[in-house]
Amino acid sequence: TVFCDNAYWQSAIAARPQSAHRGYLLGGLAWFAVPFSLATSLGLCAVALQLPLTAAEASAGLVPPAVATHLFGRTGAVMMTIMLFNAITSTGSAEGLAVSSLVVYDVYKAYINPRATGRQVLLLSQFVLVVFGGSMGALAVGLNVMGLDLDFIYLLMGILIGSAVVPLWNLLMWRQANAFGAVAGAWGGMVLAVTSWLVVATAMYGELNMTTLSKNEPMLAGNIVAIGSSALI
């Protein structure tokens, strides 16, 4: 799903070609410390310490703060809060700018108002940032009210946008790729992925609800169909 994140594409396009590949390689190596330190190290530490975490709490991403609080007390909780705040604000800023750039330069200025002035571009960018930020906040609150955990959201992302991976790759690496094929592969793959997800959940568990849809088998089927079907299309 990172392959479909416009924040990364925007940075790559803006950077000098001779610097882009070095920056991404170094960034990838540096980023490896994040899942290793938070997921592997703190996850194993929680098991070793036998912390009383339920499966629901673990799925909600509460293992790292629980370990940090257990080891360092209130200081650990503060450190984890600061880290999460910096990560969320940095990511939110990058995504907001990416969406704003898409709307302003790839839609508004390309098809609606090619002669847009700098002030018009600035005002529209600010408007998109506010709308996007508010929408993401409302979506986060809605998902939380529905009781969806991080595992469900991450796996669902693969079903919804995983079908765009192969079309994007083809557009970059294949001379014969065309817009119609890319759009058909992305949207068609998503429709087939969602259908497979629902069908497998119904066939294996006899009903459709959040519990059955969260199972590994339906999620796996949807993610595989998303990537595979879009490649075939």
Residue 22 has phi, psi (to 5 degrees) of: -65, -45
- What does the pLDDT profile of the chain (233 residues) look like in tens digits? 677 777 777 776 666 777 777 777 787 787 777 777 777 888 888 889 888 888 878 877 788 889 989 999 999 999 989 988 988 888 888 888 888 888 998 899 989 998 888 899 999 999 999 999 899 889 888 888 888 877 788 888 889 988 998 998 888 888 888 889 899 999 999 999 999 999 999 999 988 888 888 888 999 999 999 999 999 98
From its phi and psi, is residue 61 left (phi > 0), alpha (psi between -120 and 50) or beta?
left
